[in-house]
Structure 1
Amino acid sequence: MTIPATAAPAESSNRLPRQIPYIIGNEGCERFSFYGMRNILVQFLASSALLAYLPEGERAGMAKEVFHTFVIGVYFFPLLGGWLADRFFGKYRTVLWFSLIYCAGHACLALFENNRNGFYTGLFLIALGSGGIKPLVVSFVGDQFDQTNKHLARKVFDGFYWIINFGSFFASLLMPIFLREYGPAVAFGIPGALMFIATFIFWLGRKQYINVPPAASDPNSFLHVARTALLAPGQGRGGFLVAMGGFALAAGLLLGWALHATVGLSWWPESFGFVISACLALGAVIAFGGIGTSMQLDRARGTHPDAAVDGVRAVLRILIVFALTTPFWSLFDQKASTWVLQGNQMAMPHDAWWWPSWLVRDAAQMQALNPALVMLLIPFNNLVLYPALKRMGFEPTALRRMGAGIAFSGVAWVIAGALQLYIDGGDPVSLAWQILPYALLTFGEVLVSATALEFAYSQAPQAMKGVIMAFWYLASTFGSLWVLLTNAGVRNEYVTSHIGATGLSENAFLMFFFAGFAFVAAAAFALYARRYPMQDNYRHA
């Protein structure tokens, strides 16, 4: 059923919309499929024939690089999916079509376990499909509610978040077993089957969905206001020159990569492939374009309503907050790469009476701790921790929670680095010790990720909320970019000699480096938060 965005469906205020179970079922199967393949990817690549062309000592590093390149794609393609849905096809058709691409990607992983081109094509298709639907499914749930039943929406969103972690938990726990016992074709085929089921479930509800049609181009959108501000005549062109400098830098980065790839440009860094170059170019456009727009934003007044101009100002402030969270994501996403590789060096504590040896036999299965702890920590924080802090006179505001979450991730990596020191020293280290850094990192995730969505929603005006969601996903993209840049750096002889002079192994050094990265980011976040002007942009009832 397609209705205008302003129309009200005739749903009973006491009944949940009948189409909601189709969306929830789709999300549960899709999340199992995604985390099922994601959480065994590094483990598979590090020992697969796909990387057999490399010396054995370099395979783990390349597996990490492939993984984080894939993550960059997953969190970049929401820009494409959101744009296609909002401007042309609507959410339902965009989700359905991208889901079919997603299924094709899973099929490639299962069929081409020994073919590098086929397997990497599958990763690209999954990144495209998963990223394409990522910004749409949550908002599609919201479209199913109106003023008559909006009080039921929070229960549905709670269920939505729960099913995400439910799917992630079982995928993280079970898929390493299938990889070990039945091989990669089965281990990657099962997530593919789940994605096909997810798509089928979503299709079954097609006649019951409320489909808000694509919107026409908004003359007061974020990009329109920014363009007006940069191009409007006035005294001084500092903002315009800064923005153009960003575009020139981006063009130079892409040109440098292209010349290196085609004619072998000698001074271009060998490890700066297309993904790193393109992400740096995008970062230059966003950073310098944002600074330039901020410098001249008031010139857009008169051409655009004050509310639209103020909305762009609010988005630019939120972007600084998001930028300061990118180091957190560089630490968080490495739990599926660096921490799995570290766990493979640790001893499985089968002799401990409490260790579930009948189930947990691979280091990759430790990732199941993350969704399990998320489901426990969210109610604990809301019902116990935050009320206790308020009673002690400390208000856990959104920005304070996010800053603390970044710091907790740094503590988690200090502990991971300490474990690596023991491993490097030849001492047998029980895999059970990884429970502590996983718990601290997950606590940081709950403080950062769940809080950031609430924060962004409250700070962005209604017309800018879609833009904010797209930029939030880019925070994860740039988090993985820092990992790729670090991996590129450790291939440099000067860097490796410096690491050797510290007396630490490369793994231990990088763990402490990322911990320090998080602590610096947490300090910068705290300084910015102290002068951030809080807004309240919840819509009126």
Structure 2
Amino acid sequence: MGLSEVARLPRQIPYIIGNEACERFSFYGMRNILVQFLVSSVILAYVPETERQGVAKDVFHSFVIGVYFFPLLGGWLADRFFGKYNTVLWFSLIYCTGHACLALFESDRSGFYTGLFLIALGSGGIKPLVVSFCGDQFTSANKHLAKLVFDGFYWTINFGSFFASLLMPLLLRNLGPAVAFGIPGVLMFIATILFWLGRGQYVRVPPSHGTDPDAFFHVARTALLAQVPGKRRWGLLVASAGALLAMAMLSCWALQVGFGVAPAFWPQAFHFVITACLALGTLIAFGGIGVSMQLERARGLHPDAAVDGVRAVLRILIVFALTTPFWSLFDQKASTWVIQGKAMSIPHALWWWPSWLVQEAGQMQALNPLLIMLLIPFNNIVLYPVLRRLGYQPTPLRRMGWGIMFAGIAWVIAGLLQLQIDNGVPTSLAWQTWPYLLLTFGEVLVSATALEFAYSQATAGMKGVIMAFWYLTSTFGSLWVLLTNVAVRNETVTARIASSGYSENAFLMFFFALFAFVAALAFAAYARTYPMQDNYRMA
């Protein structure tokens, strides 16, 4: 095999990259105007004006939870039944329908929320598959190009996101929600067509159809159920306790909604989304611990490679869990930071401020994808080589840990800006550039790196599912936000915040910064013992 063949980029990659760029414009185009639309729309007309910002944030983060929950469904359907290509294509059509609902039902709550649900289902369904489908196009012979493509993949995502973040707030302001939500729908349709056009050139790894006796869940079930003479099945007890606890959570919600019976120990503010996420997290945590406790019992009943593969997945899930605080900070840039920006003054008098273009606080979100397009090449060409020459190896896990830390620093600065606003000091919107810069640097270190990390660590039969688990970290990130929003509606918590001398917004910003710092330290401690894997497809 010649060097030119080894180094050849698969010719089907541009179809996938083009599809992702348009899809990301579509997604971020509607996502980044959602909160500011809801705050002033008739959709929330039933909510007192003083509470609309909080309710809009709840709707936004509930939507984000759905977007990052449905990857579980998409990954399962692709691995078990339909394969990645078919699943992506069909979910894309659902996605297009959701956008149409937003444009058509801008004044109808049921129709609008139906659109949000369909977008969450469609976007979430394809989310774990496009990246792993892109990875399937590579072999061990050209895997050295995969990192460049994954970075290019992420760069292109943000190319679409940049124009969406910049233009959609202006379209919402000047042309109304029907047009502002309709244009992302057109882009999603184009994305679907681009993906379909490459159908004859893709490498399609067939689905497992559940026939692999050594798949992850089969090995996990064997480990939990296997009996060893003279030993108790403590792992099964732990997993069963998790299942019972999850059922109890859902039962509390059902009793409250269906019969008006509110158990004293169950908060009434825990609606279905919060309850379902808590139940899912409980299942994953207790089930993972239980399997880990008894995993060696599967050895001999399954090949050693399969048992070791399950152990690797369980380690990956711990890494993923420790990144969830990052996402609780990151996703609030489209809610909390936009609301903060509306209380700041737009510095039209500054000579360098593009007054002809930036007219809304929500447009500051365009800084995120713009900075990503600059930081990814800067890191690869300048920062990482310099660090290596200095003797510091920027491994994926080290990058991710530092990324969480930088997100915390960004929120400290946002909190300081909020203190100025609360004290009546005129504060320029330009100051938000610093939190966006630090948060975006953190995102590049965490999210762009995780695309490479998640694909390389998962075994062949679990790549779609492990990517779904990665995206599930954003679900739990938004869950922490919803739980915090519930907490600040409690009179005891509200009184405690008031006694601190800070406003609620400032207090929460410093709280989330501390949350990130603690998570970064825990991540660093675990990363020191993590054994890296190499699971690219052989040529």
Task: Provide the secondary structure at the position in 2 that maps to 1:429.
Answer: coil
Query: Which amino acid counterpart does residue 371 of structure 1 have in structure 2?
Result: P
Equivalent in the alignment of 1:261: 257
Query: Which amino acid counterpart does residue 422 of structure 1 have in structure 2?
Result: Q
Matches of 1:391 and 1:13, distance apart in 2? 28
Residues 457 and 146 (structure 1), Cα distance of their counterparts in 2 relative to 1, 3 Å cut: closer
What TM-score, normalized by structure 1, do the two folds share? Answer: 0.94
Q: Retained in 2: the 8 A contact 1:402–1:447? A: yes
Matches of 2:355 and 2:272, distance apart in 1? 43
Matches of 2:128 and 2:511, distance apart in 1? 32
Q: Retained in 2: the 8 A contact 1:346–1:429? A: yes
Deviations 1:149-186 (A, max 9, x none): 76765665444332211100000000000001111111
Equivalent in the alignment of 2:238: 242
Q: Retained in 1: the 8 A contact 2:76–2:465? A: no
Query: Which amino acid counterpart does residue 230 of structure 1 have in structure 2?
Result: L
Q: How far off its partner does 1:406 sit?
A: 0.8
Q: How far off its partner does 1:466 sit?
A: 3.2
Matches of 1:463 and 1:208, distance apart in 2? 22
Matches of 1:329 and 1:505, distance apart in 2? 23
Alignment of 1:35-184 (within 5 A): 35-145=28-138, 156-184=149-177
Matches of 1:242 and 1:144, distance apart in 2? 40
Q: Retained in 2: the 8 A contact 1:243–1:288? A: yes
Residues 481 and 303 (structure 1), Cα distance of their counterparts in 2 relative to 1, 3 Å cut: same
Deviations 1:444-493 (A, max 9, x none): 11111122233334444444433321211111110010001001111111
Q: Give the stretch that moved more between structures: 57-66 or 78-87.
A: 78-87
Matches of 1:409 and 1:492, distance apart in 2? 27
Query: Which amino acid counterpart does residue 168 of structure 2 have in structure 1?
Result: M
Q: Retained in 1: the 8 A contact 2:139–2:538? A: no
Q: How far off its partner does 1:91 sit?
A: 2.2
Q: Give the stretch that moved more between structures: 58-67 or 133-142.
A: 133-142
Q: Retained in 1: the 8 A contact 2:71–2:127? A: yes
Equivalent of 1:315, from 313, 316, 319?
A: 313
| Root mean square deviation, CA, Å | 2.1
Residues 539 and 125 (structure 1), Cα distance of their counterparts in 2 relative to 1, 3 Å cut: closer
Equivalent in the alignment of 2:463: 465
- Kindly, what percent of the aligned residue pairs are identical? 77
Higher relative contact order (CA 8 A, sep 6+): 2
Equivalent in the alignment of 2:25: 32
Matches of 1:381 and 1:156, distance apart in 2? 15
Residues 163 and 514 (structure 1), Cα distance of their counterparts in 2 relative to 1, 3 Å cut: same
Structure 1 residue 226 corresponds to structure 2 residue 220: yes
Q: How far off its partner does 1:277 sit?
A: 0.3
Q: Give the stretch that moved more between structures: 460-469 or 97-106.
A: 460-469
Deviations 1:297-349 (A, max 9, x none): 10011111111111111111121111111000000010111000100110000
Equivalent in the alignment of 2:271: 273
Matches of 2:257 and 2:22, distance apart in 1? 40
Alignment of 1:392-411 (within 5 A): 392-411=390-409
Deviations 1:67-107 (A, max 9, x none): 11111111111111122122222222222211111111001
Structure 1 residue 374 corresponds to structure 2 residue 372: yes
Equivalent in the alignment of 2:451: 453
Q: How far off its partner does 1:53 sit?
A: 1.1
Deviations 1:500-522 (A, max 9, x none): 11111111111011011111111
Equivalent of 2:340, from 342, 346, 354?
A: 342
Residues 300 and 124 (structure 1), Cα distance of their counterparts in 2 relative to 1, 3 Å cut: same
Structure 1 residue 252 corresponds to structure 2 residue 248: yes
Q: Retained in 2: the 8 A contact 1:222–1:467? A: no
Matches of 2:538 and 2:186, distance apart in 1? 43
Task: Provide the secondary structure at the position in 1 that maps to 2:32.
Answer: helix
Task: Provide the secondary structure at the position in 1 that maps to 2:450.
Answer: helix
Q: How far off its partner does 1:361 sit?
A: 0.7
Equivalent in the alignment of 2:290: 292
Deviations 1:235-256 (A, max 9, x none): 0121111111100110000000
Residues 443 and 41 (structure 1), Cα distance of their counterparts in 2 relative to 1, 3 Å cut: same
Alignment of 1:195-234 (within 5 A): 195-217=188-210, 218-234=212-228
Matches of 1:215 and 1:131, distance apart in 2? 21
Query: Which amino acid counterpart does residue 265 of structure 1 have in structure 2?
Result: V
Matches of 2:91 and 2:484, distance apart in 1? 32
Equivalent in the alignment of 2:415: 417
Matches of 2:397 and 2:143, distance apart in 1? 27
Q: Give the stretch that moved more between structures: 449-458 or 93-102.
A: 449-458
Task: Provide the secondary structure at the position in 2 that maps to 1:360.
Answer: coil
Q: Retained in 1: the 8 A contact 2:75–2:465? A: no
Residues 463 and 143 (structure 1), Cα distance of their counterparts in 2 relative to 1, 3 Å cut: closer
Structure 1 residue 189 corresponds to structure 2 residue 182: yes
Matches of 2:17 and 2:453, distance apart in 1? 24
Matches of 1:282 and 1:208, distance apart in 2? 38
Task: Provide the secondary structure at the position in 2 that maps to 1:122.
Answer: helix
Matches of 2:510 and 2:219, distance apart in 1? 43
Structure 2 spans left out of the alignment, 5+ residues: none
Q: Retained in 1: the 8 A contact 2:329–2:512? A: yes
Q: How far off its partner does 1:196 sit?
A: 1.6
Q: How far off its partner does 1:258 sit?
A: 0.5
Q: Retained in 1: the 8 A contact 2:150–2:451? A: no
Deviations 1:261-302 (A, max 9, x none): 011122231210110000000000000111111111100111
Q: Retained in 1: the 8 A contact 2:155–2:372? A: no
Equivalent of 1:493, from 488, 491, 494?
A: 491
Residues 152 and 489 (structure 1), Cα distance of their counterparts in 2 relative to 1, 3 Å cut: closer
Residues 203 and 439 (structure 1), Cα distance of their counterparts in 2 relative to 1, 3 Å cut: same
Q: Retained in 2: the 8 A contact 1:27–1:163? A: yes
Task: Report how many aligned residue pairs link the two structures.
Answer: 531
Residues 110 and 16 (structure 1), Cα distance of their counterparts in 2 relative to 1, 3 Å cut: same
Q: Retained in 2: the 8 A contact 1:311–1:464? A: no
Equivalent in the alignment of 2:16: 23
Matches of 1:462 and 1:89, distance apart in 2? 16
Matches of 2:532 and 2:146, distance apart in 1? 26
Matches of 2:142 and 2:527, distance apart in 1? 36
Matches of 2:148 and 2:384, distance apart in 1? 21
Structure 1 residue 303 corresponds to structure 2 residue 301: yes
Equivalent of 2:432, from 431, 434, 449?
A: 434
What TM-score, normalized by structure 2, do the two folds share? Answer: 0.94
Q: How far off its partner does 1:539 sit?
A: 5.5
